[in-house]
Amino acid sequence: MEQRQSMNHQDPGAAQRAVEEPISRRTRATLPISGLICGGGGALTLERAIQALPGVIRVYVNPATEMAYVEYWPAEVRLDELVDVIEKMGYETVRPEERS
């Protein structure tokens, strides 16, 4: 999976925690997204919306596969909050099991 790491400008401490905290405390979620159009504009907008949540470490949205890959701190943001952002942006997704 190709990863793009965008900085969370609303949470400048996120990058420092990513270095200091053990990777085992991070959680990854792969979220299928219906309605993304190939071309990337919607994917980039969705990435920015998800990245704005406190506790999100990195996010990559692939419009070709209609998948979002999110790494986050579960103590700071819940999976439901990620799904809520996707749905508020006008896309559909399912609530998968979290995995670490």
Tell me what the mean pLDDT of segment 48-72 comes to: 95
Read off the pTM: 0.70
**Per-residue pLDDT reduced to its tens digit, 21-43:** 555 689 999 999 998 876 667 89
Domain that holds residue 21: 13-93
Within-domain flag for 8: no
Domain assignment present for residue 6? The answer is no
Say what the pLDDT of residue 25 is: 83
Q: Which helix (H) or strand (E) holds 71?
A: strand 67-72
Which residue would you say has higher pLDDT here, 66 or 1? 66
CATH number at residue 39: 3.30.70.100
Question: Does residue 87 fall inside a structural domain?
Answer: yes
Average pLDDT of the residues of the chain: 79
Q: Which residues contact 90 (CB under 8 A, 6 or more apart)?
A: 35
